[in-house]
Amino acid sequence: MEENTKEVKIETTEVETAQPAVRNNREDRGGRNFKKRDRESKPKEQDPFDIKIIDVNRVTKMYKGGRRMKLSVFVVVGDRKGKVGLGIGKGDDVRSAQTKAVNNAKKNMIHVNLKGNTIPHEVLTKFKASRVLLKPASPGTGIVAGSSMRLVAEAAGISDVLGKILGADNKITNAYATVQALSLLRTSRL
């Protein structure tokens, strides 16, 4: 038996699909090449400040239509070389509130007099209902303090200190009392 084979020749034609014209954002306005020179040419600067969030609270305010909730962020900002500041910011989300708080803290920075990695002398201070005691410590002790006092000391660049919170247990007032105590430090001029 003979096999009848038919060759079937299928012609394929290339069909060009109409694609929408894609415009490059840089070639707008008459074909000129626009670059965002400011954003592309400047390298991002590292912020020399260390930022730590101490507390995040939900706050509400009454309006005619009801309550509106926002967030309040409390931060400590320091350069670990003797400068430290506190700030509070409110916003619709944590990121915007944190940005406002950091800007506020940078405006309210103080310089702390240090003696090596510790403080020069003992200091006891009172801020509202909080009382704070700070004592110098020998090298290698570390930061023996609680809550917000530890974060403030780290941001200021203090690595050896003994601290005790004697009054209220509110993080915000304790942080302000710690900064007030650090601002009272004096160095001996010999």
What is the sign, positive or negative, of the torsion defined by CA atoms of 94, 96, 100, 106? Answer: positive
Per the structure block, which two tokens stand in for 162? Answer: 């003994």
Domains of the chain from N-terminus onward: 50-110 (3.30.160.20), 112-183 (3.30.230.10)
Residue 46's pLDDT is 76
Determine how many CB atoms are found less than 10 A away from the CB of residue 58.
8
CA–CA dist 34, 167 (Å, integer): 61
Q: Which of 33 and 188 is assigned the larger pLDDT? A: 188
pLDDT tens digit string along 106-134? 999 999 999 999 999 999 999 999 999 99
Contact between 103 and 89 under an 8 Å Cβ cutoff? The reply is yes
Name the pLDDT band for 31 (thresholds 50, 70, 90).
low
Between CA 75 and CA 78 the distance in angstroms is 10
Q: What is the pLDDT of residues 39-66, one digit of tens each?
A: 555 556 777 899 999 999 999 999 999 9
pLDDT of residue 5: 58
What pTM, to 2 d.p., does this model score? 0.74
Report pLDDT for 40: 54
Helix 171-183 vs helix 147-156: angle between axes, to the nearest 10 degrees? Answer: 40
Say how many C-beta atoms besides its own lie within 10 A of residue 95's C-beta: 11
Strands 143-144 and 161-165: parallel
pLDDT digits (tens, 9 = 90+) for 67-121: 999 999 999 999 999 999 999 999 999 999 999 999 999 999 999 999 999 999 9
The size of the chain, in residues, is 190
Task: Calculate the average pLDDT of the chain.
Answer: 84
Residue 8 pLDDT greater than 70, yes or no = no
Token reading at 184: 């009272």
